Amino acid sequence: MAAQRHYDELARQLSAFGAVKRDMARILPHDCPAGSAAVLTLLERYGDMRMSKLAELLAVDMSVASRHVAHAADRGWIERLPDPADKRSRILTLTAEGHERMEDLAVRTTQLLAVRLSDWSDDEVGQLIALMSRLRDSFGDCRTTTSRGHVPVAAEASAAVQTTRTPA
């Protein structure tokens, strides 16, 4: 259990962390907001998937994911193919244009981070990633796993305090 004096500081860091995200978003093309970029990134990384799965990875409501997907689909970056196994569902897949767009996004991201993280060691970045990932996990946000070792978090979290697990 962490000391209480750390709680306020962590909350403060989270509060001001948005500035980092906004700086990242500033380098995006004008027709590709952060939401769409996230959709493309996840599709390239994890391959074709359904809406519900994408929403889970994005850590947002499916209605939000649907909106981002519609934006990307309108621009021809992704396609929503019918799912032969379930006619209610749709399979999302990157188009050739989508892959091109992703290439562009990757270049922009790399260029920005190469500047911002110029005095970070590889190990330091790795540590930050690991801790951020674990925090998301502790908050029940890590529905997927970049690796196979997914640890369910609801169990140990609810041990300390009887908490309402997002009751509807």
Of 37 and 51, the one with the shorter C-beta distance to its own copies is 37
Choosing from 23, 31, 48, 83, the residue that interacts with its own copies (CB under 8 A) is 23
Dist CA 2 CA 128 (whole Å) = 18
- Looking at residue 141, the DSSP 8-state letter turns out to be -
* 18 sits near its own copies (criterion: CB under 8 A): yes
- What angle (nearest 5°) sits at the alpha carbon of residue 133, between those of residues 30 and 28? 10
User: Phi, psi (5° rounding) for residue 12?
Assistant: -65, -45
Residue 46 near residue 92 (C-beta atoms within 8 A): no
* 145 sits near its own copies (criterion: CB under 8 A): no
Question: If contact means CB under 5 to 8 A according to the sort of partner, which of DNA, its own copies, none does residue 11 touch?
Answer: its own copies
Of 58 and 78, the one with the shorter C-beta distance to its own copies is 58
Taking alpha carbons only, the member of 33, 11, 15, 13 closest to residue 24 is 33
* 126 sits near its own copies (criterion: CB under 8 A): yes
Of 7 and 48, the one with the shorter C-beta distance to its own copies is 7
Three-class SS of residue 94? strand
Kindly state the number of chain residues that form the binding site for its own copies, as judged by CB under 8 A.
76
Considering only 32-40, 100-108, 118-126, 153-161, which stretch makes contact with DNA by CB under 7 A? 32-40
> Token pair for residue 93?
């897949």
Beta strands across the sheet bearing 49-50: 49-50, 90-94, 78-82
Choosing from 10, 81, 97, 103, the residue that interacts with its own copies (CB under 8 A) is 10
Question: If contact means CB under 5 to 8 A according to the sort of partner, which of DNA, its own copies, none does residue 36 touch?
Answer: DNA
Q: List residues binding DNA (CB under 7 A).
A: 18-19, 22, 25, 33-36, 50-52, 58, 60-70, 80, 83, 86-90, 146
